[in-house]
Chain A
Amino acid sequence: MAREVRAGVEELYDELFGPLVRLAHLIVLDGQEARDVVQDCFAGAIARWDEIEDPRAYLRRSVANRSYRAVRDRRRRHEKAERWRAGAPLVETGEPDVLADAIVALPPKQRAVVVLRFYVDLSTDDIAAALDVPRGSVGPTLGRALARLKQEVER
């Protein structure tokens, strides 16, 4: 890799690593796994850096997609399943945070759509592309997620 390209990669890596880890964490709900996802996405992107027109958009989509695939493919480790089963919140809080817990407890696809819509502000088309799902499924998924959140908050 040319020196100037390498410098550009390093600069972008330092800038985007934190925000992308936060994005990945909201979907995979695991700090270390989120870091791994971002590392893997960068490794994949660096291998084809010259072909990527907009690295920021590419990496954001790549991280969202890889994170969603991770949870969709049930890459839950055993201890995480145990925590779900026990009904304990995955986020340790000092006081009850009903809405945050409800978001954490959403099924992976619903949570990923909520995160991409409200945390990353993606359009429906971009969400569908990022998650590799049919465009027509984004709206209904978001609707179900919001209905579920409303139900939890009203409980």
Chain B
Amino acid sequence: MTVEESEIRAALDRIVERAALDEVPPGVPEPARERAGSRSTSRRLLAVAAVVALLGAGAVVVARSRPDDGPDRLATVPAGEDERGGWQQVDDLPVEGSPEPARSGPARSSWCSAGSGSPASPTSTAAAGASRSAPTSPPWIRRRGGGGASPTSRTRSPGVRATSGAPWGSPARCTCGRRRRPGPRGALWALAPGEGSWRRVDLPFSGGRGYHLEALGDRLALLAGSEDAGEQPTHAYDPGDGTWTTWPEDPLPRLFDQQLVRVGDDAYLFGKSIADLYGDAEAVLLAARFDLQAGAWHELPPSPSVAYRLWPAGDGRLIAPEPGTAPGALDDDGDPLPFGTILSTATQQWSDLPSRPPGYESGTVGLVGAAVADYPAAGGWMADVRGGGWRWIEVPPAPGTAAGIRRLVADAGGRAVAFGAGDWSGGEVRPLRDVWVWTPPDVRVAVGVGGGSEAIAGTISQAEEEARRQRATAATLAWIEAGPGRDDPRADQLADEYREALVVLDPLEVLDDEGRRVGYWLDRFVTVDEYEPLRAEAEATIERLEAG
């Protein structure tokens, strides 16, 4: 029995019919003026940011509503900083832009593969330097040593489409999978930047198979496809001696949404069981560890989440940064399954993300400060893997385009590069070539006011600043719980929001306005006298938490 197209069309009509939709149009809307981003979530964040900024100046002030007098800059600290936080536009991509950009790379550098979507089109690579200092010159480096603006024949790949590109080895080489005619399927081509030319890498099998490419530091892995019939082991390529190694079969069932990530001497395989694609149960994330030295697999406990992709934080953790839970997805105990999760490679244990940002309902979530990460984003909440909390960051739109286009944001060594995507406003896609680099500034808090309540334009800070923010937030909580703030009518609501924003491992000192220590913030405020008997227990708790 099959489901006929006509039956599906009729069922769709019935869904619409039974929804009894209100199709009476309201008035023609005014043209959109606001930039992308949730004003409501920004407003919620303001309360924290405004107090933090003011606490930094030695005062304790509660954010107040203002009359609805339209946008009006309230304060920018330090004065003169641009509104986009740490974003700075640099030279355009030195290659064709792409509506489907790809990127991968080792820590502290960001390799971006672009190229048009048509077969036999120019494809090249460029690299962004990743020093921690602000860029004083355009960071794009033509890998063949030149500085021109357009690709030359020496760096055009031989008719490939860069659908799966990966830099690997040292010095880095870029490899692209051949996906289109002419020529046999399944070919790999490697670009050695120092040589400036492409060479073919023979594969350990013949014919086209569903593999995808992953860079594992000094080697390359062809990860077995998930939805093709038959056994397909994973193959690894060592550029040093030009040999392929076939890995033993992994212990997981056949997977979709596969991912392979290297951490130290191990490669971590993630994915979800194909069997769950068609079943009632939500597909949870499965994992296994491959010891590259011993050549052996070790299965890990399944993640209690439906995470899609994990990124290395650079400290041994792998993070899927989406807060919230999947609608309708329950674990065996009937509890909702979260979208995000953290895997500690040191302990091989899963843990939950920090509490969701105050006011967060949904939207783009990425990482900042990660060793390696990339995700499409127009802006939104980002998990700060260094500070341990959440930040609202708006990705700059391309000049001349509307806000809201999702660019590829690539993290590398604490900096990020935003580029790529296509502008569809003209009816046909226009690949975007502009490039933006985000650098963590020292202190950068911009606060705006409008629409009757406050809205924050951007808050970005370094890890040191994050620690100060946490202390300031703890002080505010203490002020609410044990100080004059407890009489504020909004104290309960503020306290709830601040607790959500606070990720605390260490007891935080609470200082008064004159810098005197008056107590500590644990999961509540305690005075100095109250803390002393709790010290041993608190330190033991911290040790347990740090041990996973």
Contact = CB atoms under 8 A, between A and B. Distances in A.
Interface string B183-221: 000000000000000000000000000000000000000
Interface in A37-57: 39-40, 42-44, 46-48, 51-54, 57
Interface stretch (B357-365, B447-455, B483-491, B504-512): B357-365
Interface string A120-145: 00000000010010110000100010
A74 B340 CA distance: 12
A99 B362 contact: no
A64 B5 CA distance: 20
A118 B13 CA distance: 10
B21 A91 contact: no
Given A31-B21, A73-B362, A103-B15, A150 B2 contact: yes
Given A75-B362, A103-B11, A150-B1, A42 B18 contact: no
Given A26-B15, A39-B26, 19 more contacts: A13-B25, A25-B15, A40-B29, A43-B32, A46-B30, A46-B32, A51-B426, A52-B425, A52-B427, A58-B425, A61-B424, A75-B362, A91-B19, A92-B18, A100-B14, A103-B8, A118-B8, A150-B1, A153-B1
A142 to B, nearest CB: 11
Contacts of A44: 32, 402, 404
Interface stretch (B63-71, B123-131, B324-332): B324-332
A112 interface: no
B361 A75 contact: yes
Contacts of B100: 134
Contact of A99 (B3, B227, B427): B3
Nearest to B326: A74
Interface in A70-118: 73-77, 80-81, 84-85, 91-93, 97, 99-100, 103-104, 114-115, 118
B7 interface: yes
Contacts of B324: 74
Contacts of B22: 21, 31, 35
Interface string B425-444: 11101000000000000000
Contact of B21 (A22, A99, A140): A22
B3 A53 contact: no
B536 interface: no
A17 B361 contact: no
Contacts of B362: 73-76
B406 interface: yes
B362 to A, nearest CB: 4
B8 A149 contact: yes
Contacts of B9: 118-119
Nearest to B428: A53
Nearest to A34: B21
Contacts of A75: 361-363
A42 B2 contact: no
Main secondary structure of the interface of A (DSSP, over half): helix
Given A18-B23, A73-B363, A150-B3, A104 B15 contact: yes
A57 B327 CA distance: 31
A53 B7 CA distance: 35
Pick the 9 closest A-B CB pairs, nearest first.
A84-B328, A18-B23, A47-B31, A17-B25, A81-B327, A43-B29, A75-B362, A43-B32, A99-B11
Interface residues of A, number: 64
Contacts of A92: 18
B14 A115 contact: no
A44 B406 CA distance: 15
Contacts of B163: 134
A83 to B, nearest CB: 9
B33 interface: yes
9 contacts: A26-B12, A31-B19, A42-B29, A57-B427, A76-B327, A84-B328, A92-B18, A103-B12, A135-B117
Contact of B29 (A34, A39, A80, A151): A39
A89 to B, nearest CB: 10
B278 A48 contact: no
Contacts of A39: 26, 29
Nearest to A48: B425
Contact of B18 (A40, A58, A93, A129): A93
B28 interface: yes
B363 to A, nearest CB: 6
A85 B427 contact: no
A153 B3 contact: yes
Contacts of B26: 35, 39
A132 B429 CA distance: 11
A4 interface: no
B339 interface: yes
A14 B29 CA distance: 12
B158 to A, nearest CB: 21
Given A44-B402, A46-B31, A118-B12, A22 B5 contact: no
Given A47-B402, A119-B9, A148 B278 contact: yes
A87 B278 CA distance: 16
Contact of A42 (B23, B28, B330): B28
A131 to B, nearest CB: 12
B316 to A, nearest CB: 28
A57 B7 CA distance: 26
A17 B25 CA distance: 6
B277 interface: yes
B1 A154 contact: yes
Contact of A54 (B336, B363, B427): B427
Interface in B316-344: 322, 324-328, 330, 336, 339
Nearest to A143: B227
Contact of A85 (B328, B363, B425): B328
B57 interface: no
Interface string A5-40: 000011001100110011001100001001100011
Contacts of A77: 361
B547 interface: no
Contact of A9 (B19, B28, B322): B28
Interface in B1-56: 1-3, 5, 7-9, 11-12, 14-16, 18-23, 25-26, 28-33
Nearest to A152: B3
Nearest to A121: B9
Contacts of B11: 97, 99-100, 103
A105 B336 CA distance: 17
